Structure 1
Amino acid sequence: MKLVYVFDAYCGWSHGFSRTMRDVAARHPDLPVEAVSGGLFTGARRVPIREFGYVQGTNARISELTGAEFGEGYQRLIADGSFVMDSEAAARGVAALRQAAPEHAVELAAALQRAFYVDGHSLSEPETYRRLAEDAGLNADALVAAFEAPAARASAEADFRRAAELGVAAFPTLLAVADDRAVTLASGNATADEVDQRLSALRAGNAS
């Protein structure tokens, strides 16, 4: 069995879920985690943030339920409403980070979201990945090169297809996958304890 974490780096609910995801991964070191970018803001949804009029209200709700921080840097970045959330670029970043340190995919996904939602850095900018690499002790030049490489774009598209094949339509979604069977452990929001309860029930059912 493995865990498949389908999220989008530009999804506020995914940002809120990142603490739970880190806790779940830490509690279950025996379970490999596949981090997959969902592709929330692509195509016609890749528009200035002002067109999503519900953003601030949604963020307040996410913060209330999960304790997630939406920092001053983020507030400044989106203040005039012109910023465009491009999930394809963010997915290229996830692919580059995943390639650089696959065993730390969950922590690096959370760091990527903090770069946007707390510090206000665009996930389309190479400099954002340079900062992330330096903070994580990774090779900054290599990470930036990977982010800009054609292979990262191919990986992003592969992630979007993977999410669709799994039937995931909402982010974040955490699945337990075994023998090509996927069971949802969390969708949108859940605590680590709730995920543990569902995982234990699943394991008990499989054992019986």
Structure 2
Amino acid sequence: MKPKIIYVYDALCGWCYGFSPVIKSVYERYQDRFDFDVISGGMMLGTRTGPIDVVAPFIKTAYHTVEEVTGVAFGEGFLREVEKGDMILDSEKPAIGLCVFKYYHPRKAVLFAHDIQNSINFDGKAPNDEDIYRYIAVNYGIDPDEFIHKMHEEEFKQAAYYEFALAKQLQVSGYPAAFIQSADNHFYMIAKGFTRLEDLEVRIENVIKEISG
């Protein structure tokens, strides 16, 4: 049994968008040595959902910091939506979409997280817009109508809420976060908040030495 890298993120988390190229690079480098999983944290649920202007007006300035620290760029489409302020922020649908995607491609969850964050933070697509999920489905050889149908099934909603609970069980209080789960079920935190690729790789190599010794 391979050790596993677990990435805990939220599709609406700007720092996760900044971290997305990092975790994608880790996936590309280490996918032969590790299994990978992505868990949604559920950052904006219930009373925390709503239009940007109401629930997250700070985004209008905070994105500059994310760009400066991480090197990513937020797209014009996203910035237009931020300025308008009426995009609905809700973590539930992207989390359900991730669970449906893992039904088809469990080993490619990192790529789904990367793609959906680009759709939101670069293209400016709303997380509740079903076109995002259709587009991603087609790109991975999945029938888009079937994908959307599964997103409305109770099974996948329950799976998403199970992931929210799992993130709490892992004591994740902020995103992004990443862990290595060893074959004997020990957990090693390798990222808490945005982490540069070179630092993350050092931590991964240190854990590899520890669990191999």
Q: TM-score w.r.t. structure 1 length?
A: 0.94
**Alpha-carbon deviations, 1:8-28, whole Å to 9, x = none?**
001001111110001111111
| 2:197 partner letter | A
Contact 1:11 1:171 in 2 (8 A): yes
Q: Distance in 2 between matches of 1:130 and 1:205?
A: 42
Question: Shift of the alpha carbon at 1:73?
Answer: 1.4
Q: Which moved more, 1:126-135 or 1:107-116?
A: 126-135
Q: Which residue of 2 aligns with 1:85?
A: 89
Contact 1:93 1:123 in 2 (8 A): no
Q: Distance in 2 between matches of 1:201 and 1:165?
A: 24
- The correspondence for 1:154, drawn from 145, 155, 158, is 158
| 1:28 partner letter | Y
Question: Shift of the alpha carbon at 1:134?
Answer: 2.2
**Alpha-carbon deviations, 1:74-106, whole Å to 9, x = none?**
122232222221001111111112222212111
Q: Which residue of 1 aligns with 2:24?
A: 22
Contact 1:126 1:147 in 2 (8 A): no
Q: Distance in 1 between matches of 2:139 and 2:104?
A: 13
Write out aligned runs for 1:64-79 (5 A): 64-79=68-83
Q: Distance in 1 between matches of 2:105 and 2:193?
A: 26
RMSD, matched Cα: 1.5
Contact 2:37 2:107 in 1 (8 A): no
Q: Which residue of 1 aligns with 2:195?
A: 190
Q: Distance in 2 between matches of 1:172 and 1:166?
A: 13
Count of aligned positions: 208
Q: Which residue of 1 aligns with 2:6?
A: 4
Q: Distance in 1 between matches of 2:150 and 2:80?
A: 28
Question: Shift of the alpha carbon at 1:126?
Answer: 1.8
Q: Which residue of 2 aligns with 1:32?
A: 35
Identity of aligned residues (%): 27
Q: Which residue of 2 aligns with 1:42?
A: 45
Question: Shift of the alpha carbon at 1:149?
Answer: 1.7
Q: Which runs of 5+ in 1 are unaligned?
A: none
Q: Distance in 2 between matches of 1:122 and 1:93?
A: 13
Write out aligned runs for 1:42-121 (5 A): 42-51=45-54, 52-121=56-125
**Alpha-carbon deviations, 1:145-169, whole Å to 9, x = none?**
1222212211110110110111111
Give the match's secondary structure for 2:209: helix
| 2:78 partner letter | Y
Question: Shift of the alpha carbon at 1:114?
Answer: 0.7
Q: Distance in 2 between matches of 1:53 and 1:124?
A: 19
Q: Per the alignment, do residues 110 and 4 of structure 1 end up closer, same or farther by CA in structure 2, a change over 3 Å counting?
A: same
Q: Which moved more, 1:72-81 or 1:3-12?
A: 72-81
Instruction: Determine if the alignment matches structure 1 residue 202 to structure 2 residue 200.
Output: no
Question: Shift of the alpha carbon at 1:6?
Answer: 0.3
Give the match's secondary structure for 1:184: strand
